[in-house]
Homo-oligomer: A and B are copies of this chain.
Amino acid sequence: MKNQSVFDSRIKEGITISIDTLGGDNGEGVIIRGLELIRRQFPTVSYILHGNKDILLKHLNHYPELKKISILNHAKNAVLMTQKPSDALRNGRGTSMFSCIESVKNCEADAAVSCGNTGALMLMSLVKLRKISGVNRPAIAVLWPSKNKSGFNIVLDAGADVKADTKDLLKYAIMGVTYAQNGFNLSKPRVGLLNVGTEENKGSKDLFDANEEIRKSSKNKNFEYVGFVEGTDLPSNLVDVIVTDGFTGNIALKTGEGTAKLIGDFVNESFKKNVLSKISSIFAIKPLKRLKERMDPRRVNGGVLLGLNGLVVKSHGNADHVGIEAAVKLAIRLTTNNFSQNLSSNLKNAENTKK
């Protein structure tokens, strides 16, 4: 992601990031390696690491500089990927996820990063951090590979809630715009509302009304509203922020993932079909590698929970050190740009304009 580096040269001093080290599929080692990558660029950022102290120490001993700027907080239990959110919340105390969020709640850290169970992370964050005044349904914003100069678009809600009414969709637009501005330096993001057609008379009443509300709200505001967009536009360069309800967003996200995986498998099978195609694959290695890099989910890793009193970044469960680096850097960038404060004030402004 070329322009992700725009911000990387200047960051706020004294940032602390709280990390849930038990959530991911790949263990503590990749997290520590990812943090070491960041330390070399931003030595002033410090960390609170929640998880198994012994294992963390074992890994940190390889990186003495990182060890110096890390506080370890022992947590016995992990939230399981298969655990129901309500169950995870009930049994939350003592888990690394719980204490990771608590560090933000207690103002010990500026942001929380976890690779764990998304539903559990959303529910625990909601209960611990509470919703920002005026937000009814928080949302998860994800980065979607696209033809935009940045290489991705922002899509929300990706599945925090299965429903969204007109007011929620308007707030998603405002939250997405603030995120695009503070996370990716887009001064006037273009916003689209996901629908089954681009005609003004399509879709449900909530969508129809949200179309009007977002359009009204875009006047005198620092974003451009492009109207309804379709599923084909998710990876396009027509928009920067795409607003939808969490049910549709989640289905779209997983459909995109499934399609990309299907094509990836077909590519592999095609190049393995016979001796000749195996030889061809040697010649094709470079271009195929370039393609893989471009589609690499690790480079755009990091979903953000929006609408809470505190910043929580969700990393992919199977993120490796590059993925962890991307997710934690996103948290650093948003903290540097006072994202949480800007989000509250933009939402408040929208409320006041309506009155």
Contact = CB atoms under 8 A, between A and B. Distances in A.
B252 A252 contact: yes
Given A279-B283, A286-B280, A256 B254 contact: no
A127 interface: no
A91 to B, nearest CB: 17
Nearest to A163: B204
Interface stretch (A53-61, A92-100, A102-110, A259-267): A259-267
The residue in A84, A261, A263, A294 that gathers the most chain B C-beta atoms within 10 A of its C-beta is: A263
Contacts of A287: 267, 270-271, 273, 277, 280-281, 284
A246 B147 CA distance: 27
Contacts of A15: none
- The secondary structure that dominates the A interface is helix
Nearest to A262: B235
A125 interface: no
Q: How often does this chain occur in the complex, in copies?
A: 2
Interface in A177-201: 194, 196-197, 199, 201
Interface stretch (A226-234, A299-307, A339-347): A226-234
B294 A270 contact: yes
Contacts of A277: 286-287, 290
A18 interface: no
Contact of A255 (B84, B119, B145, B234): B234
B294 A266 contact: yes
Most buried by B among A265, A280, A294: A280
A162 B287 CA distance: 41
A294 B258 CA distance: 16
Interface of A: 84, 119, 145-147, 159, 162-163, 194, 196-197, 199, 201-204, 230-236, 244, 246-248, 250-263, 265-267, 270-271, 273, 276-277, 279-281, 283-288, 290-291, 294-295
A234 B261 CA distance: 11
A205 B159 CA distance: 17
A281 B196 CA distance: 37
Nearest to A146: B262
A11 to B, nearest CB: 31
Nearest to A254: B231
A278 to B, nearest CB: 9
B263 A263 contact: yes
A28 to B, nearest CB: 27
A247 B290 contact: no
Given A252-B231, A255-B256, A287-B280, A295 B270 contact: no
Contacts of A291: 263, 266-267, 270
Contacts of A204: 162-163, 247
A254 B235 contact: no
